[in-house]
Structure 1
Amino acid sequence: MLRLIACQRILIAAAVLSIFLLAACVSETQPRTVQVSTTENPTAAEWIKLEPDASLFQYNDTIYVADVSWVDDLELTRGDPVTKVLRQHTDEDSFQNGDANRLEKGTPIHETEERGDILIVVTSKGDIRFLQLVEG
């Protein structure tokens, strides 16, 4: 009789252990979440909020900013003229191609021979380099 009770206890313990192990191995189905993020280039208004004294120019629907120290340290060659400042515009919320917030109307803008993301602005005080602001 004692052996029967001991065997029953061993079987019950084995069954409980088996159920516990099976329950631990079964994973609950989780709903799949897919995150989608989009990146957009900064607007003039967004940049001015970050840097109120920034000098901006818009060309080909992209904002360019001056006074980036590492850009000023590059050895660059002024290339062909690509455009000029069409409007000196202080309302950064409605910036358009050709608008600048600090450059005078008619100021010539040149490409660089070495890089496509930097423009050189020719002023009476010297050349100013503008870096394209892109996200990503």
Structure 2
Amino acid sequence: MGGIAMNAEAKLTRRETQVGKLLAWGACKKTVADRLYISVHTVENHVRNIFEKTECRSVNEFSAWYFCTHFGISMELSPLKNIVAVCLLIIYMSGDIMQSTDAFTRNRSRRSTNVTERLRSRNRRDELDLTFSDVL
């Protein structure tokens, strides 16, 4: 990949693979720690070991290594393969984005329904107060 030497044959432990997968998909170290029920310090140790084994120097390099090794993409991409790989990645990620958007819309809909219900309840109380004050 443009002069960057990465070890395509690197073998990660089960936990390193779990940490690496989350990092490659964009999770921060704190999120990885929370998701895997380990400390941030432990995540940092795993990342250090991952970088040493894969010969990557940054999370971005590791992400490229991860996707190339897990999706069978050559590390020496021709421009056409690069475009196809990016398109496939966008298609794959759009499913996750759509699921997140749907969840956000459902939550927002619930909140607006709750607000509407509270307003209706308040209006009923106001009507009752008016009726009661008419009696007095």
TM over 0.5: no
Rg (Cα) greater in structure = 1
Which structure has more strand as a fraction of its residues? 1
Q: TM-score range by the shorter chain?
A: under 0.3
Query: TM-score, normalising length from structure 2?
Result: 0.24
Which structure has more helix as a fraction of its residues? 2
